[in-house]
Amino acid sequence: MDPFVKKVLWFGGAYLLFAGAAAGYILLTGTLAKRTGFDAELAAQGSTLYAQHCAKCHGVNLEGQPGWETRRRDGTIPAPPQNDSGHTWEHADRQIFDIIKLGGALFSRRGERSEMPAFRGTLSDAEIWAVIAFLKSRWSPEIRDEQTRANLLGGLSHH
């Protein structure tokens, strides 16, 4: 084998090994999550928007509707909590954004009907991001770390 090709393969393999180890460390330790803060002004704006548009279904304290994990006979699912006890934090920011903007119907599993409306004509993109900032401001540090991992992985699982 050509010595140049051998060196390229060796250095390429070493780089991939190092990059994989670094990415694994960041994912497993939540290092990136610990460095991300909240924009208090954005979260405050999101709080107001949440109260106006979301609290009716998801609860004033982000508690969701009773029985939120059980599909109703008509196939609808009660609004889930947006706090630590729900599963919103398991999704990447972009998925949360899309659900708010486009509505839950596009993301429902077979046999389910989402009552989550689309807010595309009601909230601007910036306002949707403010609502997301508010939700995150109410999550525990541990949940925020987990949600940061979902962001890094692209929110591979979806409910």
159: number of CA atoms within 13 Å, CB side?
A: 19
Q: How far apart are CA 30 and CA 132, in angstroms?
A: 20
Residue with tokens 């689309």: 118
Q: What is the pTM of this model?
A: 0.74
Over range 43-53, report the average pLDDT: 97
Q: Tell me: the pLDDT tens digits for 22-33?
A: 666 655 554 444
pLDDT at 33: 44
Check whether 37 has a pLDDT greater than 80: no
Over range 43-67, report the average pLDDT: 97
pLDDT band at residue 54, thresholds of 50, 70 and 90?
A: very high
